[in-house]
Chain A
Amino acid sequence: MTRLQNISIAVILLSLVCARPQAANAALGGSAGSVASDAQILGAVAITHFSAAASNAPSLNVYAVERLTMPSGIKVNEYVGADGRVFAVSWRGMRPPDLAVLMGAYFRQYRDAAEAGGLTALGVHHASVRASDVAVETAGHMRDMWGRAWLPAMLPPAVDEQEIR
């Protein structure tokens, strides 16, 4: 499916000891620059950069993946399109990262849609939420939680939502 061309695994150790968290500058839907802001707010210790090609158009490098690693072991992938916008995020770890930071303005949409849709839809371990502008899946079992959120309208052409993982 997704071909990750590991062009440069530039691991950047961020010196954030003195950094002061700022108002959330949402990555989802935001500029590529918001990735660094998220990394700071979430306290990431490393960012790894991948370049990826859409499975349906392998000759095109249509997006980049920025992988943030938290001290807690939580990993966050932010998907940046050719237009420099973050069109998706995903995460995996012992618990979800701060989704209000990761999803920004879309977080409220997700929460409202999740609550309106009834939480019994999929048992206690798997939810698939479709709000007007954002799609969210959260799943996993105790000590291993996973999720992803994406903006269907901003998904680059030829990129399948299954590539967000």
Chain B
Amino acid sequence: MRRDRFAIAGISILLLSLANASVHAASANAQRSQASPPMQTPPGQSNVLTATVWTGPYGNYINGPFTHVTICQPGTDSCQTIGGILIDTGSSGLRIFNQAKRLTLPSVTTAKGEPIAECVAFGTLSTWGRVAFADVKLGGEPTIPSMPIQVINAGYGVVPAICRSGPPLALSPGQIGYNGILGVGLWGADCGGACATLGPQNPSMYFACGPLGCRLTPMAEAAQVQNPVALLPEDNDGVVLKLPLIPFLGAPSVSGKLVLGINTRGNNKLGDASIFLADDLGNIATTFNNRTIDGFVDSGSNALFFNASIPQCDPTLAAGFYCPSDLMVLGAINTGRNGSATGPVAFSVANAVGLAATGNKAFYDVAGTFGAPFFDFGLPFFYGRNVYTGIDGVTTPGAAAGPYFAY
């Protein structure tokens, strides 16, 4: 299939990054947090959250699947529903910007009463802020009582040096383009056993903050920031993200569903999806261009990222994205751990600058470079599929235990 080259001349503001828009939007975040589509829980679908790909609450996001989450002060009716929360199958844990939150939430503390703060390095940024207890309500599911979430706040306490020496700290919703992250990935706890004790294996994520600053502290897995889905009484084995097919040149918005649980109800059946078991790091094997590398499936990556000899875009317009003159259709082969499944995947790459110039916000064919031996199946992979993310150590009824991806 051949498509004509995009016309890209005369376009002065077509950045995928939309840096200027993010600056202006920052001042308006409180007013605009209600601007996202309203939440509805259809009858009998208490495990369904809306998943809407749109500009996001700050008007600057491409291929971002957003939903709503309700948090409450533990044990009270004092609650707040927050929209513009990014659905992220590449991380675990609920993280909400301090600026988007009205409630006063109690800190998780050490035995001595010192507040716990966390530093999490994502690919693009780092989140710093205290860990707090909140009652969390997802769709029409029973409220999860008093679970640890992160309150993203770069101004909290004195940021430890190790947290200032990674990707830049997330400062505000307007800067980042969303009010929080709903991490519904492979893990029940964000760090896992490595953070449970001090020692050389500890990746320096959890800190106890006292009068002399914040120092590294051990954090038991159950006390860490949790994937809320893993704490549900039922529907706790993972999630299904369902997004429809979209046109070649994209769509301004896309309405889909985040369904909680896998094979626990009629609306989250695995059906004929294949289960690709992931390894201890959360990867499957992806064979592309005759090389087998680590692959992962991630709704929080807004493009497909892989290494190929495809012309890159002008770095001043879209650094790191591919800009082929014609639409390319490529293939890879995914294989799960222990040969759990194997099969081909077809995907498309179009000119990212041309796509952005359409003004649309959802694209199935935007891709970028990944220098590492990794293949990142970002959001474009999700359109037209039901993509399942199975949580580590939890058995899906009639199927396998996570960690796995299935589609």
Contact = CB atoms under 8 A, between A and B. Distances in A.
Interface in A84-113: 90, 92-96, 98-101, 107, 111
B167 A120 contact: no
A120 B123 contact: no
A54 B197 CA distance: 43
A141 B181 CA distance: 13
B301 interface: yes
A120 B374 contact: no
B60 A126 contact: no
Contacts of A94: 194, 203
With most chain A CB atoms within 10 A of its CB, the pick from B187, B302, B315 is B302
B238 interface: no
A45 to B, nearest CB: 8
Contacts of B378: 123, 125-126
Contacts of A120: 17-18, 22, 60-62, 176-177
Contacts of B92: 142
B283 A123 contact: no
A73 B190 CA distance: 18
Contact of B22 (A100, A118, A130): A118
Interface string A114-125: 111111111111
A125 B121 CA distance: 9
Contacts of A122: 16, 123-124, 301-303, 305, 320, 368
Given A124-B86, A127-B167, A139 B18 contact: no
Contact of A148 (B282, B315, B371): B371
Interface in A11-45: 43
Given A119-B125, A124-B88, A125-B124, A144 B17 contact: no
A165 B166 contact: no
A141 B90 contact: yes
B165 A139 contact: no
Contacts of B183: 142
Interface of A: 43, 70-73, 90, 92-96, 98-101, 107, 111, 114-130, 137-146, 148, 161-162, 164-165
Closest 5 CB pairs between A and B? A128-B320, A71-B200, A118-B19, A121-B17, A123-B302
Interface of B: 15-19, 22-23, 60-64, 86, 88, 90-92, 120-125, 161-162, 164-168, 170, 175-177, 181, 183, 185-187, 190-192, 194, 200-205, 281-283, 294, 296, 298, 300-303, 305, 307, 315, 318-321, 368-374, 376, 378-379
Given A120-B61, A122-B301, 16 more contacts: A95-B204, A96-B121, A120-B60, A121-B124, A122-B302, A122-B305, A123-B64, A125-B300, A125-B378, A126-B378, A128-B319, A128-B368, A128-B369, A137-B370, A142-B120, A143-B187
